[in-house]
Amino acid sequence: MSSDIKTIGLIGAGHIGGVLAELAVTAGYNVVLSNSRGPETLTETVEALGPHASAASAASAAESGDLVVVSIPFVAYESVPVEPLAGKTVIDTNNYYPARDGVFPAIEDGSTSASKLLAGHLPASHVVKAFNGILFSHLASLGRPAGAPGRSALPIAGDDAEAKAQVTDFLHRIGYDVVDAGPLAEDWRFRPATPAYGIPFGGGRPDFWAADPHPAGADEIRRRLQEAEPVRALGGELPDDYDPVRRD
């Protein structure tokens, strides 16, 4: 591995964190997983991932990771350890769902966003938004080697060029091309209820969570990012039957 990123720390080891851990191990990284209940609850997960995986507290996972993924219910963002993440690139997969997270008036009125709140909580880290707009099961199965037909692309957003380069390299290694959507403030282009959110990887179906995985390349992602409308992105409502964290 040419990159200086050897170990991925994961804060949150659920649907998305678990899939990312698997993809990362397959790509040759070490992973350190954590959750809210403690490392002893991750024994089976770690055993299934093999010798390059271990479990720790969130603070230890943050400390161990050369690159750290935060993939937890957004409402818990203030529990993310701050000091061990100083100077590091942090991937933010989180989405704000008022039905799950409670209502944040400052997000609802557009004066801030879930990503900006996490970035504000981690002032010495470089937050890059990624993986928030693909269903975990689609993420698990759409990865392809570089240059392979049907390789999909994922959008990222962030303010630090070096951090985005690290995240881009990570995505490339786990099987995805990257579309740079711009600074973190542009992440509204792939928030819930935008055309780039989930839909491309469900073959264009608005009920993408019920669809088989479908590859979507960089051109399609770029087009869908351009189609996003700010008002809809900020106040987006999802259908009643959409459960972003369902367990089947």
Ligand X SMILES: NC(=O)c1ccc[n+]([C@@H]2O[C@H](COP(=O)([O-])OP(=O)(O)OC[C@H]3O[C@@H](n4cnc5c(N)ncnc54)[C@H](OP(=O)(O)O)[C@@H]3O)[C@@H](O)[C@H]2O)c1
Q: Choose which of 54, 64, 89, 93 interacts with ligand X (CB under 6 A).
A: 93
Please identify, using beta-carbon distances, which residue of 14 and 204 lies nearer to ligand X.
14
Strand order in the sheet with 126-129: 53-55, 30-34, 7-11, 67-70, 89-92, 126-129, 153-158, 177-180
Q: Which residues contact 12 (CB under 8 A, 6 or more apart)?
A: 34, 35, 69, 70, 71, 72, 93
Q: Does 58 bind ligand X (CB under 6 A)?
A: yes
CA separation for the pair 125, 86 (Å, rounded) = 5
User: Which one of the spans 43-51, 93-101, 117-125, 172-180 is the region binding ligand X (CB under 6 A)?
Assistant: 93-101
CA separation for the pair 45, 49 (Å, rounded) = 6
Q: Smallest distance, Å, CB 243 to ligand X?
A: 9
Q: Site for ligand X (CB under 6 A): how many residues?
A: 27
For the beta carbon of residue 214, count every other beta carbon within 10 angstroms. Answer: 17
CB 12 within 8 A of CB 77: no
Give the sign of the dihedral formed by CA 110, CA 108, CA 218, CA 144. Answer: positive
Please identify, using beta-carbon distances, which residue of 74 and 170 lies nearer to ligand X.
74
Please identify, using beta-carbon distances, which residue of 34 and 89 lies nearer to ligand X.
34
Q: Does 113 bind ligand X (CB under 6 A)?
A: no
Q: Does 244 bind ligand X (CB under 6 A)?
A: yes
Q: Does 76 bind ligand X (CB under 6 A)?
A: yes
Q: Does 176 bind ligand X (CB under 6 A)?
A: no
Please identify, using beta-carbon distances, which residue of 36 and 60 lies nearer to ligand X.
36
User: Which one of the spans 91-99, 117-125, 160-168, 227-235 is the region binding ligand X (CB under 6 A)?
Assistant: 91-99
Q: Does 35 bind ligand X (CB under 6 A)?
A: yes
Site for ligand X in 132-151 (CB under 6 A): 132, 135-136
**Amino acid identity, position 15:** H
Please identify, using beta-carbon distances, which residue of 73 and 206 lies nearer to ligand X.
73
Of 49, 51, 25, 21, residue with least CA distance to 35 = 21
Q: Does 191 bind ligand X (CB under 6 A)?
A: no
Please report, as ranges, the residues that interact with ligand X according to CB under 6 A. 11-17, 34-37, 58, 71-74, 76, 79, 93-95, 131-132, 135-136, 244-245
